[in-house]
Amino acid sequence: MPHPCSYLAGRTATTLFVDPREPLDPERFAHFMRIGFRRSGDLVYRPHCRECQECVPVRVPVEHFEPNRAQRRVWQRNQDLRVEACPAIFKTEHFDLYRRYQRGRHPGGGMDDADPQKYIGFLTSRQIDTQFYEMWHDEKLVAVAVVDHLPDGLSAVYTFYDPSLSQRSLGTYAILWEIVQARAQRLPWVYLGYWIAASPKMAYKENFRPLEAYVHGHWTNLAR
């Protein structure tokens, strides 16, 4: 049913879902990613708004990606972090960081009072190969990147981090790290979800170039 848009004030949104009763193996899920869908928990969806086409699926072609000057600085700034993979399961330390992130970055956004069940239900899926990548500075957990592993790439599901460390640009660093990992695994794509030019929360994705956009049924380079 139509509902208020989460990203553009005053807009009404409609969402198209894959039938949740249908089982999804990795290849089928990757197929839906290739035609502009995303995942929230077990639900696979894409915007389907009658009067708005602002949500544009985007992905980074890993082989051709070149970080800009600012991104190179972010990469160097965070070389003192170590990254550890862990299963996509509930950990109190993750949840506490997630709540601090929501309170600091998205207050009043409806997710800053999440309970543990909603939190883990939002980030994980019973059918998809998901990993949590912990980012540590010494003995302090500073960020967690939630990543789906696909046959043809990585999907950046969500990243949350310590909001007091804004100078590190940990959200940008997480995407750069995922691009490096995809390249090392010879995977061609990193899927970044929806780019929305008019939304400050989502417009940052255009900084990762080259960037491909799914428009009118085809992936094409996103013009600057």
Nearest-CA neighbor of 121 among 160, 156, 88?
88
Sign of the torsion formed by the C-alpha atoms of 216, 14, 205 and 133: negative
Work out how many domains the chain is built from and give that number.
1
Q: In CATH, what number is assigned to the domain containing residue 86?
A: 3.40.630.30
Residues 85 and 146: their CA atoms lie apart, in Å, by 10
Q: What is the pLDDT of residue 107?
A: 73
Q: What's the burial of 148, exposed, middle or buried (CB within 10 Å: 0-12/13-18/19+)?
A: buried
Is residue 73 scored above 90 in pLDDT?
yes
Is residue 136 scored above 90 in pLDDT?
yes
pLDDT band at 6 (very low <50, low <70, confident <90, very high): confident
* Cα-Cα end-to-end distance for the chain: 34
Could you list the residue range(s) of the whole structural domain that residue 14 is in? 3-221
